[in-house]
Amino acid sequence: MRPLTLSILALLLAVASPHAKSPTFSEHVSSIIYNNCTSCHRDGEIGPMPLTNYSEIAAYADMIKHVTETQYMPPWKPDYNYSQHIGARTLTKTEINTISNWVNAGFPQGDIALEAPMPKFPTGSVLGTPDLVLTMAEPFTIRGNNEDQYQVFVIPTHLTEDREIEAVEFRPGNRRIVHHALIGADITGTARQKDLETPEEYGYESFGAFGAPTTVVLPGYTPGAKPSIYPKGVGHILPKNSDLLIQVHYAPWPIAESDQSSINIFFKKEPIEREVGFISMAPLTTDGETLSRLLRVLLGEERHGGTPVEKIKINDIFIIPKDWVKTFHTTLFIDRDISLLSIYPHMHLLGKYWEVYATDPQGNRTNLIRIEDWDFNWQGNYTFTKYQKITAGSQIHAITTYDNTTNNPLNPNYPPRQLTWGEKTTDEMLLLVMEYIPYRPGDENIALTVGRGGEISIDFNGNGQKDFADFLLFVQNFGLNRDDASYQRHFDLNGDGHINFTDFIIFANQFSAG
């Protein structure tokens, strides 16, 4: 009886036209804001204004309309229609219109009984009890001079043997100022030495990356992103006696504040069959040396049975003359079948545009990422919603554009000056790092997901049980895409914008997991 009434209700809701009369906060807008904004916009988080109830949201109504119409918020840089990555934060056209119509109508509250429930935001780890917690030895105080600050902290792991890693979770100490963090491991002691060279402060400053060689780069942190868990049999190895390096980017802030962040590490329960390796793409320097060879060593590519990159080509030397807008085309030649897990594009302040795609020997194209309006502040490592198979003989192409004119407000030089590769704010980079594993048949059908077990909720009707009613709700929404008026995000379990077969597999796994 109950499941039936519920499903009929859901059906009616789905079929009903969005809103004949003007939308109200309770009925139409609260669920959009609570599910897309409040994770960052609440007390102590990085979003500056809390958006946790009607009056807070109404007080910023015109601004919320503006930032959603211009797609400044929620922050998500990759072009969603080009390729899909986990955790995409985008609003549908319907959602954006709903907000605009609501604001234009004078942002009425409506019947408070219809207000959407606030999602449960985890207070501790979202993954459970970590096997190893590494914390910054002391709090670090930022200068508070309205400039970005990039500080590397060196934390010894004291591991007596190599450990296989399933997940890494960065926990900011001060979420208001931590803008992003990169995590790596150093076994050479270089970073430790660098830290000693600046005894007056904890850690050392380094803008471009770690300023030290890393044998493994672990998943980093951006606000609002959930930590990813490596699939069964796949993971990284954290070497014994290694030092963990965290490069923390602190947002520009007008007063001094301090932060003491920590990292939760989860070891694999079952052995790794395929260790995650790295492919990197970087240009030639002025003297013609392949930076990528250097990076290969830095990223420990030699550890993984040799790199699958046969060679690298770039259409020009990596120099960006002043008053120029310059585009580079870099190509990687891949010599074996591999599966890509994630992609991390990186450039500095002149950067405008990134596009990466693969072409196989038959000329078929796979889009990997496009960022139309590069923003250094929101750089990140993007995990594909499923493995991307790259066959032997494929080429991976990267198109990157840099604006070294006065039209680029972020230009570090005024008037502009010629720039080339380097680690400083006033240098540039063209760097692409991808995580890969050797291909196995069937990889392309495996969905990559975030969070552990209960993180994805298939208890759609919220009755505390995963039951037949949830199955019915799922089936009713099957086949919907994000631009359909009745599309509801929580049925799209991998967040790729389509409620389809991959979601069904996730659903089935969750369902049988009891």
Partner 1 sequence: MNWRYNITAITIAFFLFSGSGLCASYKIYIFMGETCPVSRHYTLTLKELHAQYASEKLEFIGVFPNRLSTPATIAAFKEKYALPFTCIGDSTHTWVNRLGATITPEVVVADTSHTAIYRGRIDNTFADLGKRRRVITENDLADVLNALKDEKPPAFRQTRAIGCIITSWQNTKD
CB of 474 to partner 1, least distance (A): 36
Please give the structure tokens belonging to residue 30: 């609260």
Residue in 14, 58, 61, 67 binding ligand HEC, rule: CB under 6 A = 67
Give the one residue of 10, 29, 46, 343 binding ligand HEC; rule: CB under 6 A: 46
Nearer to ligand HEC, 348 or 397 (CB): 348
When binding is defined by CB under 8 A, the residue of 44, 199, 254, 288 that contacts partner 1 is 254
Letters for 222-251 (x = contact with ligand HEC by CB under 6 A, - = none) are -xx---------------------------
- Beta-carbon count within 10 A of 343 CB: 24
What three-state secondary structure class fits 501? helix
CB 311 to partner 1: min, Å: 36
Q: What's the token pair of residue 434? A: 């991808």
Angstrom distance (rounded) from CA 122 to CA 157: 26
Could you give the string, one character per residue 326-365, with x where binding to partner 1 holds by CB under 8 A and - elsewhere?
-----------------------x----------------
Q: Are 163 and 235 in contact (CB under 8 A)?
A: no
Both tokens of 100, joined, read: 């605009």
Question: What angle do helix axes 468-477 and 2-15 make, rounded to 10 degrees?
Answer: 20
Q: Pick one of ligand HEC, partner 1, none as the site partner of residue 211 (Cβ within 5 to 8 A by kind).
A: none
Q: In DSSP terms, which residues pair with 249 in a beta bridge?
A: 150, 180
How many Å separate Cα 481 from the centre of its chain? 22
Strands 234-238 and 274-275 come out as parallel
Report in angstroms how near the CB of residue 130 gets to partner 1 at its nearest: 32
Contact track, partner 1, 90-129, x by CB under 8 A: ---------------xxxxx--------------------
Contact 227, 381 (CB under 8 A): no
Residues sharing a CB contact under 8 Å with residue 407, sequence separation 6 or more, in sequence order: none
Residues 59-78 that bind partner 1 (CB under 8 A): 59-63, 66-67, 70, 72
Cα 391 to Cα 369: distance, rounded to the nearest angstrom: 18
Q: For residues 65 and 95, what is the distance between their CA atoms, to the nearest angstrom?
A: 11
Among 6, 11, 14, 58, which residue interacts with partner 1 (rule: CB under 8 A)?
58
Binds 405: which of partner 1, ligand HEC, none (CB < 5-8 Å by kind):
none
Interaction of residue 19 with ligand HEC, rule CB under 6 A: no
Q: Coil, helix or strand for 293?
A: helix
Sign of CA dihedral 433, 439, 441, 447: negative
We find the least distance from the C-beta atom of residue 510 to partner 1, in angstroms, to be 37
Chain residues in the site for ligand HEC (CB under 6 A): 36-37, 39-41, 46-48, 60, 63-64, 67-68, 73-75, 89, 91, 223-224
Q: Which residues bind partner 1 (CB under 8 A)?
A: 48-50, 54-56, 58-63, 66-67, 70, 72, 105-109, 145-146, 252-255, 349, 375, 377, 409-414, 425
